[in-house]
Structure 1
C-alpha cells in the first residue's frame, strides 16, 4: 500500500486511490465541482488543484493516483492562486442571479466563491448566454449557469443507464443538452438536481416557492415503494415542500426514485380532513362521535365472521396491530394485508423477504428475474443491478415482461412453464445459476398476485434449491415487494386466522352478503364494485377509490405526518418521523382504531406510541430492533402443481401513479402526459 504525506500528515491507502480521496480520509477539504465519489472521474473543473513535490505545476487531485513517498500540499500560496484563477474563469460567464436562483443557500459555487472569489471582475466582454433546455416536467434548466462539470451526463449514462445527455461544441461554446429526439425520462432523473453543483438544474415543480433556509428538515423514510429509502422531508409551516434522499449505503446509497421525490405535492390534494358518514346515499361531514356511533350501530349484533379488514400498501405496523387486536376482540379472523391478492406464505419468513439484502445483491453473479420489472417497481434497486453488471459480473435472465432494464439480460420469454423447465433442469439457464458463486433470483409480485401464485412460489423455491442458492453464507432467494406495508403486515400476522377469509374470500363474502362490515385501511387497489351491500369503513388520508365507496370515512395521516413503523422488502424495521401535522381533524391511524375500540366496548390496552410499540414486540420480537436484519430460517413453502398458461407480467403498469398520494399529484400527472407509464417499459433493449 502506498504511503504519502498530505499537509505534513502521513497516510497509507490502497493502490489506485486518488490524492483527493486520500485527503478526504484525513479530513482535509479540497474544493471540487466535477468530482463525485459515485461517478467516473472527469477532471473537468480544475478546482481541486494541489501542489505535489517535484511536479512543476499544480495537479488535479481528483485524477492523480497516489504514489509511494508522494508529498502533497493543499494550502500553499501557489495552490490558492491557482484556485482563485479557476474560480475567476468559472465566474466569467456565470450570471449574477443568486437572489432569484433556487440553488441559493446550498450552492457549491456560492460556497467556494466565498473562499476563492475576488471582490472585483476583470472581464469586460459580454457574458455568454445559453438557451434553456426542455428536460421534462421535473427538472427546470437554467443553462447559462452551467459550469460544464458533466456530472449530469455521467449520472445519466452510468447510474441511470439512460445516456440521453451530452456536450455540444467546444471551449466557451460547450453546452450540455439532450441528444436529438431523446427525453430525460429516467425514473431516477431527480438525482440530477442533487448532483448539479450550481443552479443549472433545479426542482421544477417547486420552482420559486422556497428558500433553503426557510425549510425545516426531518429525517425519515420513504413509503412509496417496498425499499424504504432514507429521505429528508423539507417542510415550511404545515406544508411539505420537497423530499430529498439521505445517504444509506444499505438501501438507496444516495439516490431516490422520481415518484418518491416529486409526488409530495399529492400530500396536499384530495385530502380527507374530517370524518364523513353516508346519509341517504350521500357522504356528509360528521363529528368523530357521530362517525364512531354510526360504526357501532352497524356492528351491533354482528357475528365476528361477518366483519373483515384489508390493509393497504402504506399502512403502518402500529395501525395493523391495533386493527388485528380489535377484530380479534370482535371474534373475527377475516384479515389480509395482501390487497393485490399475492399468494405469500406468512408461515415461512424467508419466503417473503429479499434475503440477499439490497446491498448484498451486488455480490450476485447470476440472476433470474421472475414476473418483475425492477426498473418501474424499484428503480433504486435496478441501479444497483446495473452497477453490478457494469463490473462485468452479472449474467442475468428474465421470465416475464419484456423491458429495457438498463443492464444486459436474456429475455427467456413470459411463459410460466419456463420456471418448471429450469427447476427440472431442462433449461440451460439452470447450468448458469449452478456455475455461479452467488446465484440469485428476484420474484416479483406479478408472479405472486395470480390465482396460481402459490404454485409460482413453489417453483421459485425449487429453482433456488436446485441452483444452490441457499447456503450457510448466502441466500439468493429474493421477493421484491412494491408495498411498504406488506412485510410488516406478514410479520404481524395480518392474515386470515383459523377459519378466516383472505382477500378473495372477503370480497366474495361482501358480494354474497356473508361479510356485512369491512374496514379498509388505506386499501384503494381492490375492486370496489365487488363489495356488494357491505358496510365499508375507510380509514385513510386521501379521497381515493376506497373513500368513494365508503359508508363512513375516518381521516388518517400520511407517512410524513406520523411516527410509524414499516418493514422493508429485506425485512429491516424502519421508522418514519412526523414532519408536518395531519390536516384538519385527521389523526394518526392507530389512535383512531384505539378510540373506536372504546366505543365498540373492546377498549385496546394501550394509550401511547410506546405502549403500541411494546405490543408490536409482543406479537413479533423483530419489532424491538429498528435497523437490524436477521437471517430467516429456510423452510418449505409454496405448493406443487402446474402453473396456468397466462403470460407473466409486472404488477405495475405505470411507474408514476401507484397509490393515493401519487394519483393526487399533479406532477405525476404531468409525467404520465410527458412519458407515458414510465421507463418505456413496452420497449426492450440494452444500454452499454
Structure 2
C-alpha cells in the first residue's frame, strides 16, 4: 500500500487509488467538476489541480495514481491562483442567470466559485450562445450553462448503457447533444440531473416549481418496483414536489429509476379523497365513513365467510396486509392472497422467493442466466448492477426468454422452457459454462412463475442450481457462502406478503381462483386492498369493496370505495426483492378524508363487531415480529437457509411472454402521472394507455 504525504500529513492508501481519492481519505477537500466516483476519469475540468513535489507544474489529482513517497500540497498560493484561473475561464461563457436557474441553491459551480473563485473577471467578451436541446419529457436543458464536464455523456455510456449523448464540434464550438435530436430512452436518465454540476440539465416536470430551501425532506424508500431504492421525498405543504435518490451502497448505490423519480405527479390526479357507496341505480355517490362501513357490515352479516375473498395489491404495506388477513380470518374466510400476478410462490421456503445473491452480491458473479425476465424494465437498478459487473469483470450473461436490448451483450438461448430440461440433463452448451463458473447465478422472473407450468419451472431452476454449484454452503467462513438462486419480483409488497403468510389457507382460493369464483357468482364479496393489476371485468357479479388511493381499475367496479393514503402519506413496512425489511415514512398528509390503510381496517373491524386487537402501528409491528422474527431488524439482510421446494410437472409448449408492456405505467400512481403519460408517448412512441374507469 503506497504511503504519501498530503499537506504534511502521512497517508497510507490502497493500491490503485488516485491522488484525489487519497486526499479525500485524508479529509482534505479538493474541488471537482468532471470527476465522479462511479464514472471513468475524464480529467478535463482541471479544477482538481494540486502541487506534487518534483513536478514542474500542477497535476490533475483525479487522473494521477497515488504513488509511494509522493508529497502533495493542495492549498498553496500557486494552486489557489490556478483554481481562480480555471473558474475565471469557465465563467467566461457562463450566463449569470442564477436567480432564475432551477439548480440555484444546490449548484456545484455556485458553491465552488464562492469558495475558490476570483472576485472579478478580466474577460469582457460576448458570451457564446448554444441552442437548447430536446432530451425528451424528463430533462430540461439550458446548454449555455454547460461546462463540458461530460458527466452526462459518461453516465449514459457507462452506467445506463444507452450511448445516446456525445460531443459534437471542437474547441469553443463544442456542444453536448444526441447528434440527431431525439428523446433519451434510458430508464435511468433522470440521474443525469443529479450528476450535472451546473444548471445545464434540470428536471423538466419540476421546472420553476420550487426552491430547495422551501422543501421538507423525508427519507423513505421507493415502492414502484421491488428493489426498494433509498429515496428522499421533497414536499411542500401537502404536495410531493420531487423525489431524489439517497445513497445506499447495498441496494441502489446513488441511482434511482425514472419511474421512481418522476411518477410522483401521479399523486395529485384522480385521487380518492372521500368514501363512495353505489346506490340502487348503480352510480357511486359520496358518502361518510360511517355510511360506508355500515353498508359493508350489512352485506357481510348476510354472507357466509366462505363466500368472501380478499386480494392485496402490489403497493400494499406489510401492516395493512396483516390486518386484512386477520380480518378475513375472523370472518371465517380462507380466501386471501397478495400475489396479484398469480405466481405459484409459497410461504415457508424463503430461499425460494427472494433474491438470495443480494443486489450487491451481483458484483461477485461471473455468470448470469436470466429466465423469463427483462431486468431492464422490471428492475433498472439491478440491470445497471449487471452491466457494471460486465464492464469491470467481463460478466457472461445468457437469456432464456424474449430478446431485448439489456444494455450489455448476452447469449440468447431461445424462448421456450424446454431449454431448462436440456440444461439439467447436460445436453445444452450452457451446461459447461455453468459448470466452469465459480460464482454462477440465475435470475427467475415473474413472467416465468405466473404461467400454468410455473411450479415445474421453479422446480427445474432449483435442480439446475443444485446440480451446477450455484449454492455453496461454506463451513464457518461467511465469505465462502454463495447462493446464486434468485427470484426477481416486480411488486414492493410481494416478499413481505410471503414472509407474513398472506396466502390462501388450506382449501382457500388464490388470486386466479378468487377472480374465477367471483365471475361464476360463487364468491359474494371481494375485498380489494389496492389490487388493480387483475382482470376487474370478472368481478361485476360480486360485491366489491375497494380500498385504495386512486380511482383506478379496482375502483371502477367497486360497490364501496374506501379512500386510503399513498406510500408518501403514511408510515409503512416493505420487504424488497432480496428480503431486506425496509421502512417508508410519511412525508405529507393524504387528501380529504383519506386515511392510512391499517386505520381503515381497524375501524371497519369495529363496525363488523370483530375488533382487531391493535390500536397503534407499533402493536401491529409487534404482531409482525411474532409471525416472522425477521421483521425485528430493519435494513438488515439475513441469509435464508437452502431447502427443497417446487414440484415437478409437465412444461407447456409455449414461449415466455413479456411481463411488463409499458415500463412507465405499471401501477395506479404511474398510470395517473402526466409525466409518465408523456414518456409513453414520446419515448415508447404510443398513445397514453387506456385506463379503465378513469379520465386522463
Task: Sort the TM-score into its range (normalised by shorter chain).
Answer: over 0.9
User: 2:386 and 2:558 mapped to 1: Cα distance?
Assistant: 42
User: 1:293 and 1:191 mapped to 2: Cα distance?
Assistant: 48
User: Does the aligned pair in 2 maintain the 1:513–1:532 contact within 8 Å?
Assistant: no
Q: How does 1:121-520 map to 2 (within 5 A)?
A: 121-180=121-180, 183-280=183-280, 281-472=282-473, 473-520=481-528
User: 2:260 and 2:336 mapped to 1: Cα distance?
Assistant: 28
User: 1:656 and 1:176 mapped to 2: Cα distance?
Assistant: 26
User: Does the aligned pair in 1 maintain the 2:314–2:493 contact within 8 Å?
Assistant: yes
Task: Please give the per-residue CA displacement for 1:150-195, whole angstroms capped at 9, x wherever unaligned.
Answer: 0000000000001111111222111111133654110000000000
User: 1:36 and 1:406 mapped to 2: Cα distance?
Assistant: 21
User: Does the aligned pair in 1 maintain the 2:140–2:204 contact within 8 Å?
Assistant: yes
Paired positions, count: 678
Of residues 550, 564, 581 in structure 2, which corresponds to 1:556?
564
Cα drift, residue 56 of structure 1: 1.4
Q: How does 1:38-53 map to 2 (within 5 A)?
A: 38-53=38-53
Cα drift, residue 144 of structure 1: 0.3
Cα drift, residue 510 of structure 1: 0.8
Find the counterpart in structure 2 of residue 601 from structure 1: 609
SS at 1:231's partner residue?
Answer: strand
Normalising by structure 1, we get a TM-score of 0.97
User: 1:166 and 1:117 mapped to 2: Cα distance?
Assistant: 29
Does residue 1:672 correspond to 2:680, yes or no? yes
Does residue 1:59 correspond to 2:63, yes or no? no
User: 2:60 and 2:132 mapped to 1: Cα distance?
Assistant: 30
SS at 2:639's partner residue?
Answer: coil
Cα drift, residue 425 of structure 1: 1.4
User: 1:211 and 1:532 mapped to 2: Cα distance?
Assistant: 47
Does residue 1:34 correspond to 2:42, yes or no? no
User: Does the aligned pair in 2 maintain the 1:445–1:650 contact within 8 Å?
Assistant: no
Q: Which runs of 5+ in 2 are unaligned?
A: 474-480, 687-696
User: 2:670 and 2:175 mapped to 1: Cα distance?
Assistant: 34
Normalising by structure 2, we get a TM-score of 0.96
RMSD: 1.0
Task: Please give the per-residue CA displacement for 1:312-337, whole angstroms capped at 9, x wherever unaligned.
Answer: 00000000000111111111110111
User: Does the aligned pair in 2 maintain the 1:266–1:665 contact within 8 Å?
Assistant: yes
User: 2:608 and 2:395 mapped to 1: Cα distance?
Assistant: 56
User: 1:110 and 1:497 mapped to 2: Cα distance?
Assistant: 60
Find the counterpart in structure 1 of residue 90 from structure 2: 90
**Which 4+ residue blocks in structure 1 deviate beyond 3 angstroms?**
none
SS at 1:478's partner residue?
Answer: strand
Does residue 1:568 correspond to 2:576, yes or no? yes
Task: Please give the per-residue CA displacement for 1:255-274, whole angstroms capped at 9, x wherever unaligned.
Answer: 01000000000011110000
User: 1:383 and 1:508 mapped to 2: Cα distance?
Assistant: 39
User: Does the aligned pair in 2 maintain the 1:654–1:677 contact within 8 Å?
Assistant: no
Find the counterpart in structure 2 of residue 24 from structure 1: 24
Does residue 1:72 correspond to 2:72, yes or no? yes
Of residues 638, 657, 664 in structure 2, which corresponds to 1:656?
664
Cα drift, residue 461 of structure 1: 0.9
User: 1:183 and 1:413 mapped to 2: Cα distance?
Assistant: 31
